[in-house]
Structure 1
Amino acid sequence: MSEDQSHQFERGTDGPKVIVVGVDGSDSSLRAAAYAGGLARRQRALLAVVYIQPVMAAGAALGAPVAETTDEIAEGLITEIRDAAERVKDIFDVRWEFHTFRGDPYSGLVTAADDLKADAVVVGASEQAGHRIVGSVAVRLVKAGRWPVTVVP
């Protein structure tokens, strides 16, 4: 291997330092968060918990308080995660942060992973039947080929 090639891919060689996990309140996303928490603890990595707030097309909601609803979901998730972190703090010593991004789940997670310099991405398996045909967020993240992606059932 030439000297030029030896330093091209350093990220991930000694395990992930930043693990991004997408949460949306679904059971599979909460299982993904628990799995990612264990991974972060074992790797001594930062766990970045990410909620992607959906963005409605202008006028689609006709003034319905969609942003307020997704803000409530984000606040509820923060509370849930803080409670869970508090319960296990003596067992799991995990550094974690909560981030909210806006967009569709796929592009939001891509933005989050890029902005947070993720070494790995963890997501829950889709619980929607249609995704088996169309392709889930997880499959699209894997196909992007930019980070190791773990899909938790």
Structure 2
Amino acid sequence: MGSYQKIVVGTDGSDTSLRAVDRAGSIAGDSSAELVIVCAYEPASREEVRAAADALGSEAYQVVGSAPAESLLRDAATRARSGGAQKVDTIAVQGSPVEALSDAVDDRNADLLVVGSVGLNTLSGRILGSVPQSVARRSGVDVLIVHTT
């Protein structure tokens, strides 16, 4: 197999997930591949929106819908570009990380999925499963699990 053409990486904005974005950006740059950064989110509850409105006033829109994910994605795209990626796309998806990543790989015809290793060596990860473990098991493409902890 030649170099990768389309790479999907997941982020939740955490330092560990951004390490996976850094690695994916570097691989995308080296391969001249398109990089798709995915952030799964769950919308804020009504109580959270009300609390944000009280605390943030006119800035409360930042916690509604996909706005927090969109902000994380902008930062991740900047990091990926600074790591060498030239063509970067971002997707905010309502739902679980495993479903969002799996769907993005399928929808974008990706040939590499990059995720961080968080949860692999935890007790709950071993019993319930972790995002990297679940996507690796389900994926029909190469999966790079970046050591991030």
TM-score range, shorter chain: 0.7 to 0.9
Cα separation, 1, equivalents of 2:140 and 2:43:
24
Residues 24-57 of structure 1: CA deviation (Å, up to 9, x unaligned): 011111000000001001111001111112268x
Cα separation, 2, equivalents of 1:14 and 1:93:
18
Mapping for residues 2-151 of structure 1, pairs under 5 Å: 13-54=1-42, 61=45, 64-65=48-49, 69=63, 71-84=66-79, 88=82, 92=84, 94-127=86-119, 129=122, 130-151=124-145
Cα separation, 2, equivalents of 1:82 and 1:111:
20
Paired residue type of 1:98: T
Structure-2 change in CA distance of 1:84 and 1:141 (3 Å): closer
| Larger of the two Rg values belongs to structure | 1
TM superposition score normalised by structure 1: 0.75
User: How many Å apart are 1:62 and its aligned residue?
Assistant: 5.1
- Structure 1, unmatched stretches of 5+, are 1-12
Structure-2 change in CA distance of 1:82 and 1:38 (3 Å): closer
Displaced runs of 4 or more, over 4 A: none
Higher helix share: 2
Paired residue type of 1:94: Q
The CA RMSD measured in Å over matched residues stands at 2.6
Cα separation, 2, equivalents of 1:106 and 1:122:
12
Structure-2 change in CA distance of 1:85 and 1:30 (3 Å): closer
- Structure 2, unmatched stretches of 5+, are 53-60
Residues 2-38 of structure 1: CA deviation (Å, up to 9, x unaligned): xxxxxxxxxxx22210000001011111000000001
Structure-2 change in CA distance of 1:85 and 1:124 (3 Å): closer
Cα separation, 2, equivalents of 1:82 and 1:142:
23
User: How many Å apart are 1:85 and its aligned residue?
Assistant: 5.2
Q: 2:26 touches 2:80 (CA, 8 Å); kept in 1?
A: no
TM superposition score normalised by structure 2: 0.76
Cα separation, 2, equivalents of 1:120 and 1:18:
7
Q: 1:54 touches 1:105 (CA, 8 Å); kept in 2?
A: no
Structure-2 change in CA distance of 1:35 and 1:102 (3 Å): same
67-76 or 140-149: which moved more? 67-76
Give the percent of matched residue pairs that are identical in Structure 1 and Structure 2. Answer: 30
